[in-house]
Structure 1
Amino acid sequence: MVLALERRIGKYAVLLSMSTEKDEFIFTLPEHWGTCVGKVGSMDSQKVVAAIETAAKREGIIKSDGYRETHALYHAIMDALSGVTRGQVQLGSVMRTVGLRFAVVRGNPYEEVEEGDWIAVALYGTIGAPVRGSEHETIGLGINHI
C-alpha cells in the first residue's frame, strides 16, 4: 500500500476549507473524487455535525441511505471537531462558539484501487467566547476509511 503524494486527501480538504470564493485553486483534484464546502456557526456541536452531514448527503459525497458511509463521515467529523476544540468536543456548555468553513473530500489516496475510498473533513475558522472579538483561529482535520 503506497500513499500517493499527489493524492493527499487531507491536504486537499484543508486547502479547500481555508479557501474563499476569491481564491484561485492551484491544484486539481484526482479524477472521480468528490468535494463539498460550506459554512457553519454554532454553540452546539450537534449542529456542526448535522450541517456537514447534510451538505455531504445533498452533494452526493455519501449515500443518503445506508449506515457505513454516514458512520465513516461521522468519525471524520468528530476527529476534526476534536482538533478544533482541543480534545474537548464541547461548545455551548462551556461557553464557546465556533464560526467554521468546512470541506469534505472523498476519494482514494492510494495507488492501489482496491484500497477503496476514504473521506476527509477539514474545519477552519474561529472559536471563542460568545462575545464578538473574543475568538481566535482554529483548525481540525479528520480522515476515515469508508
Structure 2
Amino acid sequence: MSLANEKLLGKIAMLSCLDDSYVQKIEDLGWRFCKGKVGSMESNKVVAAIETAAKKEGVINGSIYRETHALYHAIMEAIYGVTRGHVQLGTVLRTVGLRFIVVRGNPYDQAEEGDWIAVALYGTIGAPVKGLEHEAVGLGINHI
C-alpha cells in the first residue's frame, strides 16, 4: 500500500480550490467533486452548505451514514485550519467568506484501498467589517 504521487488527494483538492485549472486533473482521474462558496458568521451554516453541495452533486450518498460521517470529519478538520483550532465565528465576532471543494477518490495504487474524501477551504476570516479580514486555508481528509 502506498500513495500514488500523481494522485495526492489533498494536494489536488487544495490546488483546485485555489485555481480552477486544476479541476481537469480531478476529471482525468475520474474522481467525483463539487465546488462552491459560503459566507457566514455561523460555523454550522458553513458545514451545512458543504454537506448539502456534496449530497446534491453526488459526491457522497447522504443515506449512507459512513459517507456522511466521513465528510463531516473532513469538513471539521478543514474548518479547524481556517479558524486556527477554535471553531467559533459569530460568538467571537468573526465571519468567513470561503471557496470550497469536496473531492472523492482513491489516492492509492491499489483499488482495494477504497475512496477517501478531501475538503479544501480558501478565503477570508476576520471581524465582520469589510477590509478587516485576512486570508485563511484549511484542508481535511478522511477515509470513507
- Secondary structure of 2:107's aligned partner: coil
For 2:11, give the aligned amino acid.
K
CA distance in 1, matches of 2:22, 2:76: 27
Aligned 1:115-126 pairs, distance under 5 A: 115-126=113-124
* Equivalent position of 1:110 in the other structure: 108
* Number of matched pairs: 143
User: Which structure 1 residue ranges, 5 or more long, are not aligned?
Assistant: none
Match of 1:85 among 73, 83, 86: 83
Residue in 1 that maps onto 2:40 = 42
TM-score (norm 2): 0.95
Report the 3-state secondary structure (helix = DSSP H, G, I; strand = E; otherwise coil) of the residue aligned with 2:11.
Answer: helix
Deviation at 1:66, TM superposition (A): 2.0
Q: Distance in 2 between matches of 1:116 and 1:52?
A: 22
Note the alpha carbon deviations across 1:42-82, whole angstroms, 9 max, x for none: 00000000000000000000002121100000000000000
Q: Alignment partner of 1:100: what SS? A: strand
Deviations 1:113-140 (A, max 9, x none): 1110000000000000000000000000
Q: Equivalent pairs: percent with the same residue?
A: 69
Q: Secondary structure at the match of 2:21?
A: coil
Q: Name whichever structure is richer in helix by fraction.
A: 2
For residues 26 and 70 of structure 1, do their structure 2 counterparts lie closer, same or farther at Cα, with a shift above 3 Å needed?
closer
Matched letter for residue 115 of structure 1: E
The separation in 2 between residues aligned to 1:46 and 1:107, in whole angstroms, is 26
- What is the 5 A alignment of 1:27-66? 28-29=25-26, 30-66=28-64
Q: Secondary structure at the match of 1:24?
A: helix
- The residue that corresponds to 2:16 in the other structure is 16
Runs of 4 or more, structure 1, over 4 Å off, are: none
Deviates more, 1:119-128 or 1:61-70: 61-70
Letter in 1 for 2:7: R
For 2:25 and 2:128, the matched residues in 1 are separated by: 37
Q: SS where residue 46 of structure 2 aligns? A: helix
CA contact (8 A) 2:37 2:100 kept: yes
Query: Helix, strand or coil: the match of 2:25?
Result: coil
